[in-house]
Amino acid sequence: MSNPDVFAATADPNRRHILEELRRAPKTVNDLAKGLPISRPAVSQHLKALLDCGLVTVTSEGTRRIYSVNNRGFDGMNLWLDQFWS
């Protein structure tokens, strides 16, 4: 796992939308693509970026891949932001 910058990964509005949807419930690429003006392959690319920085996890159920928010992936972001409120 490469672990790129979470702030760069969340700068894209499509990725923020994906995270908001996944915060509500785990979803497949098809479910996520329904709410976005981009193709399923583009959604998959955005999910890969979110997976690479640890903000999203994926599990397999048969032939389906279910994506969900990885709360632990936000720990570093939260620690960095919290320093501004201390």
Reported confidence tier of residue 34, pLDDT bands at 50, 70, 90: very high
**Whole-number percent of the chain with pLDDT over 70:** 95
Give residue 3's pLDDT. 65
Position 4 scores a pLDDT of: 82
1 pLDDT band, cuts 50/70/90, is: very low
| Domains delineated in the chain | 6-82 (1.10.10.10)
Report whether 28 contacts 67 (CB < 8 A): yes
The structure's pTM equals 0.88
pLDDT band at residue 2 using 50, 70 and 90 as cut-offs? low
Which letter does DSSP use for residue 71 in this model? G
